[in-house]
Structure 1
Amino acid sequence: MLISFENIIYISGMLGVAVFAISGALAAAEEKLDILSFVLFATVTGIGGGTVRDLLLNVPKVFWVEDPFYLYTTILAAIITYFFSHLLASISKSLLWMDAAGLALFSVLGTAKAMSLDVDPVVAITMGMITPTFGSIVRDILLGHKLVLLEPEIYVTAALLGGGGYYLLRDVFNVEEVTAVLVSMVAAFMLRAAALLWDLRLPKLKQSLDRE
């Protein structure tokens, strides 16, 4: 029996929350914080972006209030990371790869949820960019880290590829929904992975603006 589109979305959403929660917990591990701090950063990172998305879309119940298992997932991810993070060869590299996986998942899922509410395509794709980035932004601000969005390697562009790719495949090229989701997620992850491995980046403004 084939897995339904709704189940694909649910499983992917739970996986996205888990990997982003792990990235938040790994950030706490870098700072050698206590277990409650692990839970805090895992929760903020895991559900932060989706919370902002649902509030902006005026969803009656935020996703983790509707289904508390998302919240339980962040707590479990934090506890597991707390006890096993010392086994990782490089916490910082593991954080980047978990963040990349979460980016790929949430960029597509954020767009898909917005599209299910019949919003404008540009709004939907924007939600696909907000969903994977907001939790990471809050995590980095609370820890005093340089924002991941300000790192030179491609980041937001990968989120745009995931969300924009899903919209184009599903609504423009009429690709079957599950295929559109999976292809878009893989494409977003591969672009972010390539950026990490080969230092891919977009051109930067070469001259500063004059200020009076």
Structure 2
Amino acid sequence: MEIMKQKKLLYILLASAVLTSLTLPTCMDPVIVKVAKADGDSDDSAAMTKLQPVTVKLYKQDTTEELTPKNPAEVEGIVGTVGELKWVKTPEVEGFGTDARSKGFIIKYGNNEVVFYYTEIKPVTVKLYKQGTTEELTPISPDEVKGHVGAEITVDAPRVEGFQPEQAKMEYKVVDGDNEVVFYYSEIKPGN
């Protein structure tokens, strides 16, 4: 009987120490705490789980080329408790973009890896010519046009003083190389 009391006391002390501890255990498994019930039985309870690290990987789409985030601190030191729903914000990568704003997943024991895939963003040169000539026109306010490689984008014809575009907009697929869109303009005649 005395041994039973000592075991109960040990379980209570262990539970109290674990539950009030400010430091998490360093083992990878959950801490099992024996909780003494009033009727003398004990209950095995997973009272605390270790924080698990999260690895964030950034890759160029369709390759194994790893990319570097603009702010490395965004992907370092991410942790979560086992069973927790964790959201990771998409890190910004210079010259690249992705459709995902963030990714959510459930933290588990072991390897917690979140992978983001990025496509390169390329500039698109917009050229403006007077219809039937090689005379280049200047827009009222030039716009910088960019797009993800492989994406279909809509390019609006810039406004040109005294001219109107033959096409108001154009669909264009951005390629991994030089990108150029050409608009032709006709002169607006007085009285038209």
Normalising to structure 1: TM-score of the pair?
A: 0.20
Question: Relative to total residues, which structure has the larger helix share, 1 or 2?
Answer: 1
Larger Rg: 2
> Larger relative contact order (C-alpha < 8 A, sep ≥ 6)?
1
